[in-house]
Amino acid sequence: MSRPASRPIAGALIGAAIAAGIWESFARSGLFSPALTPSVIDILRSLAGMIASGALAVHVLATLGRILIGLAGSCLVGVPLGMLMGRFRPVERFFLPLVSVLSPIPSLAWVPLFILWFGLGNAAAIGLVVYAAIFPLVLNTWTGVRSVNRLWLRAAEAMGADPRTLFLKVVLPGALPFIIAGFRQAFARGWIAVVGGEMIASTTRGLGFVIFDAKEYLNADVMMGSLLVIGLLGLGFERLVFQTIERRSVGRWGMVRTGRG
Amino acid sequence: MSHIDLSGIGYEYATADRAVVALRDVSFGVAESEFLCVVGRSGCGKSTLLNIVAGFLAPTKGEIRIGGRTVSGRGLDRGIVFQDFAQLFPWRTAQRNVEFGLEMKGLGRGERAQTARRFLELVNLESFAAAYPHELSGGMQQRVAIARALAYNPSVLLMDEPFAALDALTRDEMQSMLVHVWRETRKTVIYVTHNVAEAVYLADRIVVLTPHPGTLRAEIRVPLPRPRDVLSVEFLDYQKQVVSFLR
């Protein structure tokens, strides 16, 4: 049932080595000035500098804080809304067109308006995350509720479950595989929003700010290092948060195959 | 007086271009603690009939009385087992599945656990109480479903081809286990199947439905002693008799 944990780690390391090799040959190819395509060593050195000075921790925490607050907000609204839409036709008829119209609008397109409404800084960035994350959550939860096995509902009703109990004890766990999928997408879209927001909304902390700030000084190594950090944070969340939640819930229950890697 | 009384049950539904009569004027009674099998080909309306008794569908004609009272809709006086293994809640262990109906009744945690254990024991699954449904074989899942339908103590057990998706050997075991469970609990059972041998093995009485529209064709009493010998001449005679009505 459980594969040795070393195999996915080895797989990840090999993948990283290949990616580093491709970058290195591109950086040395002379297509761009070496100042614009720093070598892997330079990127790691500037990263180490940011870690040593403590600057990286400050920026990472600022960005993560915005994402997590935004994600929590969108979850509080998005999951209940998606469940109500999946369960009650009038709610679906009212909200689905609204969601369909708003969902394809890129969160970054809202930045100027959000700055006007919320001012420069944190509130605008968090608002962007909420906006970006809420639609994947609503749509996935809605789909999950509609895909709940009708036999579960019948069996529960036959055993005397009232609508509220049905909602909490059957529909919610039944839709969980989709809700978790929604969280994954929401998290990914949240990153796009927060980094974009930090670049434009004149915050003074956060990875997006670091990248934008480094551009002014042509510090390509800092930019690349920050991108790497964002990617690694994504990997960490996938491993530590999403896969753990999945393994202990829907994976344990045999509703999905547990992913590793 | 019968425990369950169906009188003049009819069921019609509309498709795009016409009205379909699924059941017409079906009437029969089921005595207290009787094991009744409803036999018929696919499409004869036997599952529809069971869904009506369960309260999932409202008959368009006729009425159902259970214990003298006219019933409409679902009720905790009836437990239901479906054919599909997926009827169990995958996020609950076997024991927690069996506890569901007891939770709905508002029983405390200790009492729930105790009752659930007792019914898992009845279907010989006490050692799998902590297993999740996907860790159990099809036969085991159906046994959990039976324990779950009995645990909240309904007086009627409704079964819709619960063993149809099992392999033949497992099905035989399940049938003899069901007879044992039925004798222990003395429930009134309505069991729907298309399998004639299964009906003759299980039933006190067999009701044969024929399709288009679903009507009651025959009622056959099976007074053979239990456990029944499936290779005996009498057993085969009853099978022939049932089959003759299905032709």
Confidence at residue A244, expressed as pLDDT on a 0 to 100 scale:
92
Residue A158 at interface with chain B, using a CB cutoff of 8 Å: yes
Is A159's CB within 8 Å of B148's CB? Answer: yes
* A-B contacts at Cβ under 8 angstroms: 68
How far is the alpha carbon of A150 from chain B, nearest alpha carbon, in Å?
9
Confidence at residue A261, expressed as pLDDT on a 0 to 100 scale:
65
Cross-chain CB nearest to A156 (options B82, B91, B100):
B100
Chain B hits for A157, Cβ within 8 Å: 74
Chain A hits for B90, Cβ within 8 Å: 253-255
Cross-chain CB nearest to B104 (options A165, A173, A252):
A165
Instruction: Give the nearest chain A residue to B98 (CA atoms).
Output: A159
Residue A150 at interface with chain B, using a CB cutoff of 8 Å: no
Sign of the C-alpha dihedral computed for residues A158, A159, A160 and A165 taken in this order: negative
| pLDDT bucket at A67, cuts 50 / 70 / 90 | very high
How far is the alpha carbon of A178 from chain B, nearest alpha carbon, in Å?
14
Cross-chain CB nearest to B105 (options A151, A160, A254):
A160
Is B74's CB within 8 Å of A157's CB? Answer: yes
From the list B98, B150, B103, B114, the residue with the least C-alpha distance to A166 is: B103
Confidence at residue A5, expressed as pLDDT on a 0 to 100 scale:
55
Assess whether pLDDT exceeds 80 at residue A90.
yes
| pLDDT bucket at A6, cuts 50 / 70 / 90 | low
Out of A46-60, A112-126, A156-170, B181-195, least confident range? A112-126
Residue A252 at interface with chain B, using a CB cutoff of 8 Å: yes
Q: What is the DSSP string of A192-259?
A: HHHHHHHHHTT-SSSHHHHHHHHHHTT-HHHHHHHHHHHHHHHHHHIIIIIHHHHHHTTTTTTSSPPP
| pLDDT bucket at A203, cuts 50 / 70 / 90 | confident
Is B80's CB within 8 Å of A249's CB? Answer: no
Q: Which residues neighbour A13 within 8 Å (Cβ) at sequence distance 6 or greater?
A: none
CB B188, CB B31: distance < 8 Å: yes
Confidence at residue A83, expressed as pLDDT on a 0 to 100 scale:
96
Confidence at residue A1, expressed as pLDDT on a 0 to 100 scale:
45
Confidence at residue A122, expressed as pLDDT on a 0 to 100 scale:
87
Separation between Cα atoms, residue B56 and residue B68, nearest integer Å: 20
Is B74's CB within 8 Å of A158's CB? Answer: yes
Record the tokens describing residue A185, joined without a space.
């997408």
Assess whether pLDDT exceeds 60 at residue A4.
no
- Regarding pTM above 0.90, the answer is no
Question: Collapsing DSSP states into helix, strand and coil, what is residue B37?
Answer: strand
**pLDDT tens by residue, B142-173:** 999 999 999 999 999 999 999 999 999 999 99
Instruction: Give the nearest chain A residue to B131 (CA atoms).
Output: A253
Assess whether pLDDT exceeds 60 at residue A62.
yes
